[in-house]
Amino acid sequence: MTSSDQHQALRALVGDPAHLREALKAADVAPLLMVLIHLGGDPAWLERVRPFIKGPWSFHEDAPEDLKAELREAVVAMLGDYVRARRPLPITPPMDLLAQMLDVCTGQHVPPEYYPLVLEEMDLADNDPKTVHWRKEPPEALQHFQALIIGAGFSGIAMAIKMQEAGIPFTILEKNDSVGGTWYENTYPGCGVDTANHFYSYSFNINHDWDHHFAKRDEIFNYIKRNAEQFHIDKKIRFNEEVIQANWDEGSALWRVQLRKADNSLETLTANVLVSAVGQLNRPQMPTIPGLADFEGPAFHTARWDHEAKIAGARVGMIGTGASGMQVGPAIAPIVGKLKIFQRSPHWAMRNPLYFERVTDDKKWVLKNIPFYAKWFRFQLFWSSSDGFHAMLQRDPDWTDQKRSLNAANAKVREQLEAHIAEEVNHDPELMRKATPNYPPYGKRMLRDNHWYRMLVLPNVELITTNIDHIEKDAVVTTDGVRHEVDVLVMATGFQARRMLTPMHIEGRNGVTIRDSWGEDDPRAHLGITVPSFPNFFILYGPNTNLAHGGSAVFHSECQIRYIMQAIRELVETGSASLDVRPEPFWEYQHKVDDAHNKMVWSHPGVDNWYKNAAGRVTQNSPWRLVDYRNMTEVFEPAEYEFRPLEKSGESAK
Ligand code: NAP
C-alpha cells in the first residue's frame, strides 16, 4: 500500500467516528492494546493493561469496562493524530519495545528465540518474508524445467502459488474433481477444524472474513478454492488424474510419473522435480472386523460420508472416538433415533469457549480495517495454540505417577480435564469412568470438546466400551455376547497414515522403492521432506511432521515449502540435474527425532495412538516446537545433498 493509499484508508476510518467507536467494541483487548503501542510507541499503556491479560486467549483477559473504553478512545485519538499529521504507518516497533509487547499480548514470556519466527509470521511489512527469490535473474534453464505436484489440498495449492511466483513451470495432478484434499473429501456432519482459522490459514494471504473462529468444513474448503482461483492455480490442475506410479530415470534425471485418468487410461508425464502434497490423512482406514462385509445397512467411513443414507430416526452405530468421531457424534445425536458409540479407548478433550463462537461483523471490520490488529490477533493465536504446551509433553524422569501423567504441569491439566468431564456428565460415575482416559493428557491428540460429554448423557446415546467381537447383518456384537442392533454403521476409524504415500508406487535410484526404504510402517525423511535415493523428490506433511500438540499444519507446510523452493533454486542455479540427500545427515536427523520422541508422551508406555508403528517408533508426529522446526528448515544446506550433473543430454520434461 502506498503512503497515499494508507492515508486515504485512515481518513475513511476516522471520518465516521461513531462507526469506528461502535466497531472497536468488538475488538479484543490484547491485540487492540498492541495496535495502540505499535502506532504510538508509548509503553505506559502496556503497564496499565498488563495485569489483566492472564493468558494468550482472548478469554484470559479480565480488564474492567472503563479501562477498555479508555483504550478504545486512545486508539480513536491515535488514528486521528495519524490522519492530521499525514504520518506513514510504522512497520516494526523497536526490538526492546516489541519484546515487552509480545509478553503482554500473550500474558506469558515470549523468549527472544521466537522473535524471527514472530516477525516472519506477522509479516508487518506485507512483503511475505518466507518468499524465496532468485539470487540474480530468473535462470533461463526454467524454460525447460517442469515440476509436478501431487495433490491440490491446502499444501499443494500453497506449493503451486510459490512456484508460480518464482516462475517455475508446474502442474498439479489431483485424483479428485476439485481442489481441497481432505477438506473436500470429508463432508461428515460437524466436520471442522480445531485450530483457530485466523492462524490455520496461509500467512501470505490473510483472510479477515472467517465466519467462525473454528470454521466448519465448507468455509475452509471455500477458502482453499478461493486461493486456487485468486492465484489462477486452478488452471494448472489436471483433475480426476491419479498418480499411481513414479520412477526416477537416472539417465535423463527426470521423474516418469504415470497417472490414471477418469476413463482408466494411463498417461506418463515427466518432471525434473516431484512434490508429494498428499499428506498423511488421505486414505481412510477401514477396520478389519469379522463380518463387516455382511452388514446389510449403509456402512461407510467418515471421510466417505454417504449422504444418501437415512440417519434421521435410525439406529446408528459409530465405531471410533477420535477427532472425527468427536465431531460426528454431537452433530448427529439430536437427529438419530439411537446413537451407539463403540469406543476402544477414550480421547482427552478440552473446552474452548471460542470453539462455538461466530466472528461478528464488527470484529471482521476491525480485522480488516484497524492497522496491525489482524497481525497481532494472529500472533496471539499462534502463541495460544502452539509451543506453550510443549513442555507438558516431556516425561519428567522423577515423576512417580507416570501412568496417569508425565510431569507436574501435565498432572495439573489432567485434573482440569477430569473436572470438566465430571461436570459435563453430571458426575455420573459410570460415564466418568468410561470417558476418562487411563493415559496422560496429550498421549493422543488433544481434542476440542464439541459438547461430546454433554452428548453422552442424552437418553438416546449409549457409550459402549466392551470390545467388538464381530458384526452381523444388522448388529454389532461385543465380546460379552451382546447384540447391538443398528441400521447404519459409521466408521470413524482414522486413516492409513503410517503407510505413507500409499497406494502410490514410488521408485527412486537403482530401483529402490519407497516401500523398500520404509517397509509397511516406518516412513522417514530428512526434516520430514527428503529421502536418500529419491532425487528431486520432496514431501509436504511427510514423516514426523504431524503436529499433535498444537500449532497449524499450514504453518508447517509453509516451512517445508520455503525449504523446497531453496532446494530447487540451488538445483537450477548450479545447473545440476539432481540433488539427493546424503545418508549421513538423513540418519543424524532420524536419531535426533527418535531421541526427542523417546522422552515424550507419544512413545510413553501404555499410550497407544496412530503416531507409532508396530515397533513402537513414532513415525508421524513432529517432536519439535514450531520454532525449532522453523529454524531447522529456514536454510537449505547444500552440503547435506549430493548434486549430480546430467549424465546424457537431450530429453527435457514434458
Ligand atoms: P483417529 O484419531 O485415528 O481415531 C480413530 C478412532 O477409531 C479411535 O478412537 C480408534 O481407537 C478407533 N478405531 C480404529 N480402529 C478401530 C477398530 N478396529 N475397532 C474399534 N475402534 C477402532 O482418526 P480420526 O478421528 O479420523 O482423526 C485422525 C486425525 O485427523 C486426527 O488426529 C487429526 O489430526 C485429523 N482430524 C482433525 C480434525 C479437526 O481438526 N477437528 C477432525 C478430524 C480429523 P483407538 O484410539 O483405541 O485406536
Can you tell me which residue has the cell 507436574?
408
Which of 493, 545, 613 to mutate to test ligand 1, by most ligand atoms within 8 A of the CB atom?
Answer: 493
Q: pTM of the prediction?
A: 0.96
Grid coordinates of 395: 516425561
- The C-alpha R_g of the chain, in whole angstroms, comes to 26
- Kindly state if the Cβ of 193 falls inside 6 Å of ligand 1: yes
- Kindly state if the Cβ of 532 falls inside 6 Å of ligand 1: no
CB pairs under 8 A, 24+ apart, for 631-635? 631/117, 632/527, 633/527, 633/529, 633/559, 633/560, 633/562, 633/563, 634/559, 634/562, 634/563, 635/566
- Report the pLDDT value the prediction gives residue 318, as an integer from 0 to 100: 98
Ligand 1 atom nearest residue 321's Cα: 9
- Considering the domain 143-283+497-644, what is its CATH architecture? 3-Layer(bba) Sandwich (3.50)
Task: Quote the ligand 1 centre to 333 CA distance (angstroms).
Answer: 19
- Mean pLDDT (whole number) for 543-556: 93
The residues near 8 (Cβ < 8 Å, ≥ 6 apart) are none
Ligand 1 atom nearest residue 609's Cα: 48
Pick the closest to residue 176 from 153, 148, 149, 202 (CA basis): 153
- Report the pLDDT value the prediction gives residue 401, as an integer from 0 to 100: 87
* Nearest CA residue ID for atom 14, ligand 1: 493
* Nearest CA residue ID for atom 3, ligand 1: 494
CB 345 within 8 A of CB 351: no
- Kindly state if the Cβ of 321 falls inside 6 Å of ligand 1: yes
- Kindly state if the Cβ of 324 falls inside 6 Å of ligand 1: yes
Task: Quote the ligand 1 centre to 444 CA distance (angstroms).
Answer: 9
- Mean pLDDT (whole number) for 601-620: 92
- Kindly state if the Cβ of 447 falls inside 6 Å of ligand 1: no
Ligand 1 atom nearest residue 493's Cα: 7
CB 564 within 8 A of CB 529: yes
* Nearest CA residue ID for atom 28, ligand 1: 494
The ranges assigned to domains in the chain are 3-129+361-384, 143-283+497-644, 292-355+402-491
Burial 537-557, CB ≥16 within 10 A → b, else e: bbbbbbbbbbbbbbbbbbbbb
Task: Quote the ligand 1 centre to 381 CA distance (angstroms).
Answer: 25
Cα torsion 154, 155, 159, 160: sign: negative
* Nearest CA residue ID for atom 6, ligand 1: 320
Task: Quote the ligand 1 centre to 321 CA distance (angstroms).
Answer: 6
- Kindly state if the Cβ of 545 falls inside 6 Å of ligand 1: no
550 or 312, which is more confident: 312
pLDDT grade for 551, boundaries at 50, 70 and 90: confident
- Kindly state if the Cβ of 37 falls inside 6 Å of ligand 1: no
pLDDT grade for 650, boundaries at 50, 70 and 90: low
Cα torsion 521, 524, 529, 534: sign: negative
Peptide bond into 535 cis (omega under 30): no
- Report the pLDDT value the prediction gives residue 608, as an integer from 0 to 100: 86
The lowest-confidence range among 88-92, 311-315, 540-544 is 88-92
The pLDDT tens digits for 621-634 are 999 999 999 999 99
- Mean pLDDT (whole number) for 91-98: 93
Can you tell me which residue has the cell 514450531?
626
- Mean pLDDT (whole number) for 130-151: 93
d(CA 608, CA 602) in angstroms, rounded, equals 8
CB pairs under 8 A, 24+ apart, for 589-597? 589/526, 589/527, 590/524, 593/544, 593/623, 594/618, 596/623, 596/624, 597/621, 597/623
- Kindly state if the Cβ of 492 falls inside 6 Å of ligand 1: yes
- Report the pLDDT value the prediction gives residue 41, as an integer from 0 to 100: 86
- Kindly state if the Cβ of 60 falls inside 6 Å of ligand 1: no
Which 3 state secondary structure label does DSSP give 243?
Answer: strand
d(CA 296, CA 486) in angstroms, rounded, equals 10
What CATH number was assigned to the domain covering residues 292-355+402-491? 3.50.50.60
Strand pairing class (170-173; 483-485): unpaired
| C-alpha 178, offset from chain centre | 20
Amino acid at 652: S
